Amino acid sequence: MEWDSEDDGVGVLQDGHSFGSDSPDSKPTTSSISENEFSCHCCYDILVNPTTLTCGHNFCRHCLALWWESSHKNECPECREKWEGFPKINILLRDATDKLFSEVVQRRRAEIQANPKISRSLLAFQRYGDNLGRSKTNQHKGAGFFFSGVLTALTCVAVMVLVYHWGSGVMEQHELLISKPVSHWTPEEVVSWLEHLGPWTELYREPFHKENVNGRLLLMLGDEELLNSPYSIENQAHRRAVLAELDRVKTLGVKPPQNLWEYKAANAGKALFLLYALKRSPRLTIFYLYLFDYSETFLPFLHTCCPVVSHVAKSESRFLNSQLEPSWRQWAEFLVKYCVLPYQLIAEFAWDWLAVHYWTSRFIIVNAMLLSVLEGCALWRLWTTARIRTLPQKMWNHFWKMLSQGFAFALLWPFVPQFVCNCLFYWALYFSPIINIDLVVQQLMHPETQAP
Ligand SMILES: [Zn+2]
Ligand SMILES: [Zn+2]
């Protein structure tokens, strides 16, 4: 037996391609198949766990392991061609030899198992294969990490530029009205407030401007005054919309935020929280809003995503309906979307703001669609791997995770510098979609890998 000495094995291999005609127990079979065809060119005996190399040659697995261990080379013992990857047992050949030469194979198997040196070699060989597989996946991940690293660096620079750009000028005029008491507004500021209500107010700006209506005067206007000259807002829906908005200004004392940037300036912490929480867990976040922020956030959100079907133009109905109790139809539509496609609700909300925030809305819509796809992929993976039963457990874990993160955010938020908050905010808004595109591509290409 060749495996008793390593040199022997190599020696036999080197002296050529002679077939084992000298095999003592070779019995000629009735068919054209003989033991020669199924013999290993290392040990010249019947193949045990035949392993096929990339060159096509077959060897017993233990012979290959011994050869690999002694030569320290990934070469075919016969033709010296390098093999790729980690050679596998040829199942078809193994089953054939096991069946045709069952006695010999069984005897040899027992011998191999009884030989500790061979067992050690086989184990070492297997370990080498496992490590090879692991380093290969790491290499694949390494490329991904490199890509992500470059993306992260670029993103950091871009976010800082954006924060600097927006922080330096554009925001100031927006922030003015939402922090300045309405009684101190100048006539120009009143007109700009009117302008912010929407393009439908264009007709009415001129009279306000001519009359020099300042904040103090604005507060005194009622339905009567708006209807009559000089304002003459004859369209009832428009008048009601202006009055509804005026009411909000009166209660708040300042101009309520009317777009994302104003909202962010007025509620920096909440905007950041909503952005991250809606992305991470839309269902829990919307439920949280329902419980703790019903009239200010939840109702306008519901009315925007599932509007009442009416003839009133959307821009005006936004101011009128946002505090009405939703109809059962709206509730039904909302609940179905909430359960099945919660990101769709966010996309619809952003869709409504398309005219105000051209690019930002598009980023949010794309991100919402990507997140829906990722959620679908995760569910599909659970389904195909028959782990769907673990879903309640996963949801429960997710709930606790979100709760603890929410508490951590609430505690830490006041200590985080404004600049860092801005960076986090713009990061989540504009670069999360890019990262999610990467994730979706990975998911579609390698569906078996786990999403983070
Ligand atoms: Zn062999
Ligand atoms: Zn070969």
CATH number, domain with residue 84: 3.30.40.10
Q: Give mean pLDDT, residues 332-356.
A: 88
If you search the block for the tokens 């077939």, which residue do you land on?
19
Most confident option among 85-94, 206-215, 249-258:
85-94
Our CA angle for 318, 322, 327, nearest 5°, is 110
242 in the same domain as 209: yes
221 in the same domain as 283: no
Q: How far apart are alpha carbons 337 and 345 in whole angstroms?
A: 7
Residue-level pLDDT at 52? 93
CA of 52 to the centre of ligand 2 (A): 9
Q: Rounded to 10 degrees, what is the CA torsion of 40, 43, 49, 55? A: -40
Nearest listed ligand to the Cα of residue 51: 1
Q: Give mean pLDDT, residues 121-148.
A: 73
Is 76 inside any structural domain?
yes
The residues with which 60 forms a beta bridge, in sequence order, are 50
219 in the same domain as 312: no
Higher per-residue pLDDT: 267 or 144: 267
Q: At which of 252, 277, 306 does a domain end?
A: 252
CA of 31 to the centre of ligand 1 (A): 23
Higher per-residue pLDDT: 149 or 79: 79
Is 139 inside any structural domain?
no
Tokens representing 247? 């009411």
The residues with which 58 forms a beta bridge, in sequence order, are 52
Is 244 inside any structural domain?
yes
Band of pLDDT at residue 309, cut at 50, 70 and 90? low
Residue-level pLDDT at 450? 47
Measure the N-to-C terminal CA separation of the chain; round to a whole number of Å. Answer: 52
Residue-level pLDDT at 428? 83
Closest CA to 300 of 252, 248, 370: 248
161 in the same domain as 98: no
| Number of domains present in the structure of the chain | 3
Higher per-residue pLDDT: 397 or 264: 397
Q: How far apart are alpha carbons 78 and 58 in whole angstroms?
A: 9
| Cβ 431 vs Cβ 155: under 8 Å | yes
Any long-range contacts for 133-139 (C-beta under 8 Å, 24+ apart)?
Answer: 133/86
Q: How far apart are alpha carbons 351 and 104 in whole angstroms?
A: 74
Q: Check pLDDT > 50 for residue 434.
A: yes
Name the DSSP class of 296: I
Residues near 412 by Cβ (< 8 Å), separated by ≥ 6?
none
| Sheet of 58-60, strands arranged across | 58-60, 50-52, 88-89
Q: Give mean pLDDT, residues 360-377.
A: 89
Is 219 inside any structural domain?
yes
| Cβ 49 vs Cβ 112: under 8 Å | no
CA of 110 to the centre of ligand 1 (A): 14
Closest CA to 305 of 262, 341, 355: 341
Q: How far apart are alpha carbons 383 and 119 in whole angstroms?
A: 40
Q: Give mean pLDDT, residues 325-330.
A: 83
Nearest listed ligand to the Cα of residue 39: 1
296 in the same domain as 159: yes
Nearest listed ligand to the Cα of residue 59: 1
The residues with which 51 forms a beta bridge, in sequence order, are 59, 89
Percent of the chain with pLDDT over 70: 80
CA of 87 to the centre of ligand 2 (A): 12
Residue-level pLDDT at 90? 92
Higher per-residue pLDDT: 223 or 387: 223
DSSP, collapsed to helix, strand or coil, labels residue 57 as: coil
Q: Check pLDDT > 80 for residue 365.
A: yes
Band of pLDDT at residue 85, cut at 50, 70 and 90? confident
Output the average pLDDT for the chain: 79
Q: Check pLDDT > 80 for residue 22.
A: no
Gyration radius of the chain's alpha carbons: 37
Phi-psi region of 37 (alpha: psi -120 to 50; beta: other; left: phi over 0): alpha
Residue-level pLDDT at 195? 80
Q: Give mean pLDDT, residues 167-181.
A: 61
Band of pLDDT at residue 51, cut at 50, 70 and 90? very high
264 in the same domain as 248: no
199 in the same domain as 156: no
Residue-level pLDDT at 24? 46
Q: Which of 36-50, 75-89, 214-228 shows the lowest mean pLDDT across its residues?
A: 214-228
366 in the same domain as 350: yes
CA of 74 to the centre of ligand 2 (A): 11
Most confident option among 4-13, 279-288, 416-425:
279-288
Is 122 inside any structural domain?
no
Residues near 406 by Cβ (< 8 Å), separated by ≥ 6?
273, 277, 288
Is 375 inside any structural domain?
yes
Distances (CA, A) of 351 to 328, 343, 356, 358, 368: 23, 12, 10, 9, 11
Domain limits for position 403: 146-170+259-445
- SS percent in the chain: helix, strand, coil, step 5: 70, 5, 25
Higher per-residue pLDDT: 164 or 260: 260
Higher per-residue pLDDT: 134 or 218: 218
Phi-psi region of 16 (alpha: psi -120 to 50; beta: other; left: phi over 0): left
CA of 30 to the centre of ligand 2 (A): 29
Residue-level pLDDT at 400? 92
Residue-level pLDDT at 182? 79
Tokens representing 381? 């993976």
Q: Which of 58-62, 84-88, 268-272 shows the lowest mean pLDDT across its residues?
A: 268-272
CATH of the domain at 202: 1.10.150.50
Q: Check pLDDT > 90 for residue 92.
A: yes
162 in the same domain as 200: no
CA of 3 to the centre of ligand 1 (A): 9
DSSP assignment of 147-194 equals HHHHHHHHHHHHHHHHHHHIIIIIHHHHHHHHHS-GGG--HHHHHHHH
Q: At which of 210, 236, 252 does a domain end?
A: 252
348-362 b/e with 16+ CB inside 10 Å = b? bbbebbeeeeeebbe
Is 451 inside any structural domain?
no
Band of pLDDT at residue 63, cut at 50, 70 and 90? very high
Q: Give mean pLDDT, residues 296-305.
A: 84
Give the E-state strand segments of 64-124 in sequence order: 88-89
Residues with C-beta atoms within 5 A of ion ligand 1:
40, 42-43, 60, 63
166 in the same domain as 22: no
CA of 62 to the centre of ligand 1 (A): 7
237 in the same domain as 275: no
Q: Give mean pLDDT, residues 340-346.
A: 90
290 in the same domain as 425: yes
Residues near 280 by Cβ (< 8 Å), separated by ≥ 6?
402, 405
Q: Which of 75-84, 100-109, 238-247, 260-269 shows the lowest mean pLDDT across its residues?
A: 260-269
Band of pLDDT at residue 225, cut at 50, 70 and 90? confident
Nearest listed ligand to the Cα of residue 47: 1
Q: Which of 135-149, 284-298, 341-355, 431-445 shows the lowest mean pLDDT across its residues?
A: 135-149
Predicted TM-score of the model (pTM): 0.56
Is 393 inside any structural domain?
yes
Backbone angles phi, psi at 45, to 5 degrees: -125, 175
Higher per-residue pLDDT: 355 or 39: 39
Q: How far apart are alpha carbons 370 and 105 in whole angstroms?
A: 55
Higher per-residue pLDDT: 388 or 291: 291
